[in-house]
Every structure is written in structure tokens, then in C-alpha cells.
Amino acid sequence: MSREFRKDIRGRGASSNIPNRFDSLKYEAEPQDFDNYLEEEKPRLQTQILKDTSRSVLTKNDSPDIGFTYSVNPYRGCEHGCIYCYARPTHEYLGFSAGLDFESKIFVKEEAPKLLEEALMKKSWQPETIVMSGITDCYQPLERKMELTRGCLQVLAKFKNPGAIITKNFLVTRDLDVLKEMAAYNGIRVFISITSLDDDLIQVLEPRTSRPAARLKAIEMLANAGVPVGVNVAPVILGLTDHEMPAILKAARDAGAYSAGYTPLRLPLAVAPLFEEWLEVHRPLRKDKVVNAVKDIRGGKMNDANFGSRMRGQGPRADQLAQVFDVYTRKYGLNEKKFTLSAEHFQRPGDQLSFKIDE
């Protein structure tokens, strides 16, 4: 779709289907057809559930700057529609666009709990933390109906295998019963991501996520239930949300968070033009400021794929952001307590052996 046709599509983060980098052909609407094109495309924008027939559910990560090895992602694609999502390009491997397709064509691993149990039953499995939402959010809207994340948590609890959750959705509180059970043996940590406390911004930046107040309420409910919970100030968008970091850290601490982390915005592959398009549609007066700020910490580019620097950025501005984070985490008493997940109680059904790990 050419640039002059870009418009806000209610309830979606992207405004178009950016061409798949693996496809040689693409469709481009003519100006006179644009209004009709939008009407014709409305049915396509309804969320479609597609079956993922993968025969394994554990994904192994070998990136040195990611703090976990194994993750489970019951869904491919994410209806939350966060425009900056680094997972968007993964949809291109499935033959779809990283734009609207990513947030409207969701692949569902219906047998995820069963496959996870089979993996943990193997004698070759050495128990260690399994992260839910290593790629897409395991509590996106479809989870309310599908309950695949809940099923996977129940499997982890059955084996007493430690797990961690990263989410933007209040729906995580639905599973407090399982999370409390896991917390009783130091088997779970939950991280709630908060990008901004501005409802109006979140409505277009992360259109189908829980609003900021609901995420803070989720932190409160988890903490009150004895479930270790932290906040991710992520992504930090320089020139747009970076000024909110102190307020987010304070609000999360007041709600009961004990730990915090942050990640500056990163824009791999198709995410960069999608994010620029979003700025044109929703924050045109901020576009130059934000783009220049991104390039300032990414070596003059829109993305830095190098391990280590990709998660923190480089240069004076990135250093300043790190200093702000350190000052306010100390001020609000975050990251003072070290929490250790342990697999000391791990046990397969019928197995009398136990294991212990420290992270």
C-alpha cells in the first residue's frame, strides 16, 4: 500500500499489510480504489484462528543476551497488535505479512499442554525454567477461550517444573489458583510489561492489550496472592515514552512489584517501516524526534541486531536511560531482593527422583 493511503484501522496496531520480504509480488491499491479497498478488506481484518500442527512445543533459545533457554508459545501471531512487536517478522516465515496479518491471523497450538507434558516426561529432560511468552503474549485475547496457557501452567505445576510469565494482559489473574500453587515451592515468576501510563497512547500503540490501570491491578493481585511479580518497562520509546519511566517504576512498586527491568525499543526487519507508518498515522509531529532518537542509540540505524547492545542500545543517550533506571529502581526499592526459581521439587508421575537448579 503506498504511503498516501495509510489510515488508522480501529482496534489494530498496523495500518497496512507490509509486503512479505520473501515474496516477489505485492498488491498496491490505486488512489481511486482506496475507500472501496478498505471496505473490501474489513472482513479480512476479523481475527482468524488457524491450526498450528507443530509436533513439539518447547522452543530452545541460544541468544547470549536472553536470560532463558526454553520457552513455550501456544500462539503464533498476536492479537494484541503492539505496533513495535519484535515478533512480527516471524509471520513472514508462515507466508503472511508482518503487518495486519500478524495481529489478525493467529496460529493456535491446540495440543500445547499435551506436547509439553510429553516433553517433560522424557528422561532426557533436565528440569529448568520454562518461559511462557518468549515470543508472543501467552495471555492474548484468544487465551480467554482457548485456555492453552492455563493448560500448560497446570502441566508445569503437575511436574513442579519452574516457569516464568511475561504478559501485558490482566487475564493472567484468572490463573491465580495455579500460580499460587507454583509459588508455594518457588516455581513461578510473573512479569507485567508496562510501556506507558497514558491510556490514549496505549489505545493506539497496543490496541488490544489491557489498559495501564488493569496491568497495575494485576501486579497488585499477584503480589497479594504471594506470587513474585515484577515490572518490565518495555519497550522504552525515546522521544515518546522515556519520560514516563520513573512514574511507571513508582506505580508498579506501589502495586506490589519487587523487581524491574527495561528494554529500549528495537525495530528488526519489517517492524521498522511499520513503526514509521504508525508514527505518520498517530503521532506525525513526533515522528522525526522519535526516529532520530532510535537511530541515536542504534548506531545511526533503525535497528541494531548485535547481541548485548540490541537490548540496551549504545551511546550517551542509552547510558543516560540506564542511569535513570538505576536511580529510580534504587529510590523505590526495586531489585533489592534476589529471587531464585528452583526445580528441587521436580518429579515425573511415578518417579521418586528430584532435582534442584538455581538461576
As a whole number of angstroms, the longest Cα–Cα distance in the chain is: 71
User: What rounded mean pLDDT belongs to the chain?
Assistant: 89
Q: Which of 33-42, 137-146, 225-234, 252-261 has the lowest mean pLDDT?
A: 33-42
Sign of the four-CA dihedral 91, 95, 101, 105: negative
Contact by Cβ (8 Å): 231, 257: yes
Confidence bin at 308 (pLDDT 50/70/90) = confident
State percent of the chain over pLDDT 70: 89
Q: Does residue 208 carry a pLDDT above 50?
A: yes
pLDDT at 62: 77
How far apart CA 171 and CA 217 sit, in angstroms, is 11
Three-class secondary structure of residue 171 per DSSP: helix
Q: Which amino acid is at 49?
A: I
pLDDT, tens digit (0-9, with 9 covering 90-100), for 150-207: 999 999 999 999 999 999 999 999 999 999 999 999 999 999 999 999 999 999 999 9
Concatenated DSSP letters for 177-226? HHHHHHHTTT-EEEEEE-S-S-HHHHHHHSTTSPPHHHHHHHHHHHHHTT
For range 232-238, the mean pLDDT: 97
Tens of pLDDT, residue by residue over 335-348, are: 998 888 999 999 99
Q: What is the CATH number of domain 3-22+34-331?
A: 3.20.20.70
- pLDDT tens figures, 29-87: 444 443 444 444 444 478 999 999 998 899 988 777 677 889 999 999 999 999 999 99
Going from N- to C-terminal start, the domains of the chain cover 3-22+34-331
Q: Report the alpha-carbon distance of residue 8 to residue 30 in Å, rounded.
A: 18
Q: What angle do CA 221, 80, 269 make, to 5 degrees?
A: 125
pLDDT for 38: 44
The confidence score (pLDDT) of residue 36 equals 45
Question: How far is Cα 262 from Cα 271, in angstroms, rounded to an integer?
Answer: 19
